[in-house]
Structure 1
Amino acid sequence: MFERFTEEARRVVVGAGRESAELRHGHIGTEHLLLAILAETEDPAARVLIEAGLDRAAAREAVRRLLGEGDDARALAAIGVDLDAVREAVESVFGAGALDAPSKEEPRRRGWFRSEGRAGRSPFTARGKKVLELSLRESLRLKSGHIAVGHLLLGLLREGDGLGARVIADHGLDFAAVRRAVEVTTG
Structure 2
Amino acid sequence: MFERFTDAARGVVNGAQVAARELKHPYIGTEHLLLAMLTAETGTAVRALTEAGLTAPAIRAKLQEIVPDDAQPLSKEDRAALQTIGIDLDAVLSKIEESFGPEALMPPPLEAKRGLLRRKPRNGTRFAARSRKVLELSLREALRLKDNYIGTEHLLLGLIREGNGLAVKLITDAGVDLDELRRATEAARGRTST
Say yes or no: TM over 0.5: yes
> How many residues are matched?
163
Which residue number corresponds to residue 17 of structure 2?
Answer: 17
Q: Please tell me the residue identity of whatever aligns with 2:118.
A: F
Q: Please tell me the residue identity of whatever aligns with 1:49.
A: L
Matched, 1:146 2:149: yes
Q: Percent identity?
A: 45
- Per the normalisation by structure 1, the TM-score is 0.77
Which residue number corresponds to residue 90 of structure 1?
Answer: none
Matched, 1:182 2:189: no
**Structure 2: tracts of 5 or more residues without a match:** 95-100, 104-113
Q: Please tell me the residue identity of whatever aligns with 1:48.
A: A
Which residue number corresponds to residue 166 of structure 1?
Answer: 169
**Structure 1: tracts of 5 or more residues without a match:** 88-98, 102-108
Whether contact under 8 Å (1:41, 1:47) holds in the other structure is no
- Per the normalisation by structure 2, the TM-score is 0.75
Query: 1:103-128 deviations in whole A, cap 9, x for unaligned?
Result: xxxxxx9844313xx45231111101
Say which of 118, 128, 143 aligns to 1:125.
Answer: 128
Q: Bigger radius of gyration, 1 or 2? A: 2
Residues 110/159 of structure 1: CA separation in 2 closer, same or farther (3 Å cut): closer
| Cα distance between partner residues in 1 of 2:13 and 2:30 | 11
| Cα distance between partner residues in 1 of 2:155 and 2:131 | 10
Whether contact under 8 Å (1:16, 1:36) holds in the other structure is yes
Which residue number corresponds to residue 64 of structure 2?
Answer: 64
Residues 72/155 of structure 1: CA separation in 2 closer, same or farther (3 Å cut): same
Say which of 88, 96, 114 aligns to 2:119.
Answer: 114
Matched, 1:48 2:53: no
Residues 73/150 of structure 1: CA separation in 2 closer, same or farther (3 Å cut): farther
Deviation at 1:180, TM superposition (A): 0.5
Q: Please tell me the residue identity of whatever aligns with 2:69.
A: E
